[in-house]
Amino acid sequence: MDTVQHIRQPGTVTPHSGPQYHTPSWAKHVIWYQIFPERFRNGDPSNDPVAERVHGPRGWEIMPWTSDWYSRAHWERSMGPNFLDSVYRRRYGGDLQGIIDKLDYLQSLGIGALYLNPIFDAVSLHKYDASCYHHVDRFFGPDPEGDARIMEQEDPMNPETWQWTTADRLFLKLIDEVHQRGMKIIIDGVFNHTGTDFWAFRDLAAKQQGSPFSDWYAVRSFKNTDDSDSEFDYAGWWGHKSLPEWREENGTLVRPVREHIYAITRRWMDPDNDGDPSDGVDGWRLDVPEEVGVDFWKEWTSLVRTINTEAFTVGEIWTDKSGEWVNGDLFNAAMNYPFAKAVQKYMIDRAIPVDAFLKRLKELRRSLPEEASFVMQNLMDSHDTPRLASMIVNPGREYNEEGRPGEGFDVRKPNAEERRLQKLIALFQYTYPGAPMIYYGTEAGMWGAGDPDDRKPMVWKEFEYEPETTHPMGKNRPRDDNNFDPKLFDWYQRLAKIRNEHLALQTGSFELLAMDGENDFFAFARFLSHEQFAVTVLNRSEMSQNIRIPLSDVSFPELRYMDNPLTDTRHAVGDDHVELNLPPVAGAILIPVRGD
């Protein structure tokens, strides 16, 4: 018998007339750092994943952290002749202890908030295929086997039976360590779909219509034992059957699914359930929110704000629709992919002139509540895109399109000129309105094509890495050194220090001061008052040039000098302007000097 049930339709947002927009103040002042846990740091080799859990072939073992990325292990070759045949079965052993061990590193980089890709128990390396929402992945904690036994003792439907595994407790320790450093932490909420190993879906797949969870998922048809031609079919995210989607009706997830998600939301935001959320996560990054009914998000957001009025929520919105989702009813911010696309078109591809670039950014700012501009996550890359350094090596492609080696994407390391452009982009990222977000390893010099090559093991200063000499398509390539880049790290560290020390770079308005399309430079101020502002100057051209920047609209009469903390140089101010010489593809940050 065919049973056609409600299939999810992408969420649509009507014009906003709800509560006034508000965002936590702390979110205006932080620099974000995105961590892909499995590839960040192996802090406890005793908890490394095992072949049985990852469905590894005979001979499967953990990959060496410092190995040549495209070089394949013996067990990988048994899965097929191509790199992509086996790479998704790789594990490197990244875990929560590794993150804890590197919090001082992150703090030294000026990071104020962490965004962790999914941490809940799951089979895959990326964890977007949850096996459950109420436990941290067993291999992220110190006792995977013991945690599995604890999970087996529970009724996942009944929160009163939920216990705390060793991985859960280590995550709570991570939260505490983050908070002790004055930092924040948010986690990934994947509420459109689960994995096929999710406890409710496993029961559904086994019992079909007889399962108590038969109405939880978007089932198209059930298997009928009396009909050999019948099949079990359901909606999977973008057609991926490994990611079955929750069922919706009337613009929201069905009630039992909603109630379960609300229960795990409370669990991670207020772990001891005492009304004080300081021991819980500081917010959520929401995966593919446009594919879930808007009414669900409104109800869920209301719950989040009831638990913690200073919680931060950010949606994965790739298009210009951020303005529809960032409001008083829904999210505080969005991952600012439109910002990244604009920067790529102007600064990397040279596909648009500077005036069109600035016009585009102005359109994006105006599409948001004014306060939201300061908390948008201004990223350039993520786990879903080629890395920034490799975007620069491969100009002229649409953002996140044709980003794999098989599509002609060059996998080599950036050269010195390309690194110069990366540094200029970072300078803009750290001084433009919004919260800069760095994908793990960008500051250390990591490069890579799109998924899976954007998920290499983190490059650490204390390790010696094999050079990259192998090409996934069997082509010739340079022998590329793959060790930590201290000069690039110092650049990101210095940018962070400047931003963190100057409030104008965090919450100042954007004021365009100069723009020259022919010579390809522009300058802008982040303005709080005539006593408190900062000026950014960017020379995107391939030539050195003297640049004159008018200051009459932002400065105070007694201003005589401005300092550039990037180069530790001082520039005289005369007749309401400042002049400086910039090399090709370079920039400056100018801070007014008080007194003589």
Catalytic residues: 287, 316
Count other Cβ atoms within 10 Å, centred on residue 589.
24
Alpha carbons 484 and 443: distance in angstroms, whole number? 9
**Residues 298 and 251: beta-carbon distance below 8 Å:** no
Q: Give the closest residue to 143 by CA, choosing from 165, 120, 171.
A: 165
State both tokens at 317. 């919105």
State the DSSP H helix or E strand holding residue 416, giving kind and residue range, or none if neither. helix 416-431
**569-574 sheet: strands from edge to edge:** 509-516, 521-529, 532-539, 586-592, 561-564, 569-574, 577-582, 545-550
Q: What is the 3-state secondary structure (H, E, C) of 437-462?
A: EEECCHHHCCCCCCCCHHHCCCCCCC
Alpha carbons 245 and 236: distance in angstroms, whole number? 5
Strand, coil or helix: 26: helix
**Residues 460 and 406: beta-carbon distance below 8 Å:** no
Q: Is the sign of the CA dihedral 157, 163, 166, 172 positive or negative?
A: positive
Tallying the residues shown for the chain, one arrives at: 596
Alpha carbons 462 and 399: distance in angstroms, whole number? 33
**Residues 306 and 338: beta-carbon distance below 8 Å:** no
State both tokens at 307. 């638990």
Torsion angle (degrees, nearest 10) of CA 37, 40, 46, 50: 60
DSSP character for 14?
P
**Residues 538 and 522: beta-carbon distance below 8 Å:** yes
What angle do the packed helices 255-269 and 294-307 form, to 10 degrees?
30
DSSP character for 256?
H
∠ CA 314-347-468, rounded to 5°: 85
**Residues 580 and 562: beta-carbon distance below 8 Å:** no
State both tokens at 237. 């995210």
